[in-house]
Amino acid sequence: MKKNLLIWGIALILIVVAIFVTNGYTKETAKTNPQDSSQNKISVAIDVSKGEEAMNFTLTDLEGNKVSLKDFRGKNVYLNFWATWCPPCRSEMPEIEKVYQQYKDKGLVVLAVDLGEDKDTVKNFIKDNKYNFRVLLDSDQSVASKYNISSIPVSYFIGKDGKIVAKKVGALQEEEMQSYIKELMDSK
């Protein structure tokens, strides 16, 4: 009897923790401007979808350069949210490298946004696997929050005009990537 109570107690605690973590991760966050305490800025996470303008952001790449999404206006962008500890993310990385190599000279930019990991961990993973696409660090997960990312991997395909052509939650196989990239290349 005590063993069953212990098991049920642990299960209940795990469920409560999971709910807390999930709600805390996607919840809207308020940020106060420290120079003007009377002015509150609210960062609201919204679900961006097909046909909408992709929200701009600025992150640092693995070489320490600041990179903004708006820098790639006029090019097709494959935006992928991922982490090294995520098995589905890791499984799609070789396919992302394949399509990157195939389309990089045709105007496709791949931006792989790592969520919450330190630079050395990510840099070693990319180097060990010989990936060549651009990797950005979302250390505080502020961009993931803006994009309402609640699970990874998530991929966005953004047209030359900065509008979202497609969004896919979950790992992609190469043929799916090819299909989304064709849709990107065919969009105006």
CATH classification at residue 112:
3.40.30.10
Question: Per-residue pLDDT for 141 more than 60?
Answer: yes
Q: In this structure, is residue 179 part of a structural domain?
A: yes
Between 1 and 142, name the one with better pLDDT: 142
Q: In this structure, is residue 13 part of a structural domain?
A: no
26 in the Ramachandran plot: left (φ > 0), alpha (ψ -120 to 50) or beta? alpha
Question: Per-residue pLDDT for 2 more than 60?
Answer: yes
Q: In this structure, is residue 106 part of a structural domain?
A: yes
**Contact yes or no for 81/154 (Cβ under 8 A):** yes
Lowest mean pLDDT among 26-35, 78-87, 141-150, 172-181: 26-35
Q: In this structure, is residue 11 part of a structural domain?
A: no
Q: In this structure, is residue 33 part of a structural domain?
A: no
Question: Per-residue pLDDT for 158 more than 90?
Answer: yes
Q: Helices (DSSP H) in 48-173: which residue ranges?
A: 87-103, 119-129, 142-146
**CA distances (Å), origin 158, targets 25, 70, 84:** 24, 11, 23
For residue 153, say if its preceding peptide bond is cis, omega within 30 degrees of 0.
Answer: yes
**pLDDT of the residue at 29:** 32
Q: Which residue has the tokens 């399509």?
A: 99
Q: Residue 118 corresponds to which tokens in the numbers above?
A: 């330190």
Lowest mean pLDDT among 12-26, 48-62, 167-181: 12-26
Residue 14 pLDDT grade (very low, low, confident, very high; cuts 50, 70, 90): low
Stretch 16-43: mean pLDDT, rounded?
A: 39
Residue 78: count of CB within 10 angstroms of its CB: 24
- Kindly report the backbone phi and psi dihedral angles of residue 156, in degrees, each rounded to the nearest multiple of 5, phi listed first: -120, 140
Single out the residue of 149, 158, 151, 145 nearest to residue 111, CA to CA: 158
Q: Residue 61 corresponds to which tokens in the numbers above?
A: 């790449």
Domain housing 163:
48-186
Residue 21 pLDDT grade (very low, low, confident, very high; cuts 50, 70, 90): very low
| CA-based max dimension of the chain | 66
Q: In this structure, is residue 4 part of a structural domain?
A: no
Q: How many domains does the chain have?
A: 1
pTM: 0.74
Q: In this structure, is residue 117 part of a structural domain?
A: yes
Residue 86 pLDDT grade (very low, low, confident, very high; cuts 50, 70, 90): very high
Cα–Cα distance for residue pair 71/148, rounded to 1 Å? 22
Q: What is the mean pLDDT of the chain?
A: 82
Residue 7 pLDDT grade (very low, low, confident, very high; cuts 50, 70, 90): confident
Q: In this structure, is residue 77 part of a structural domain?
A: yes
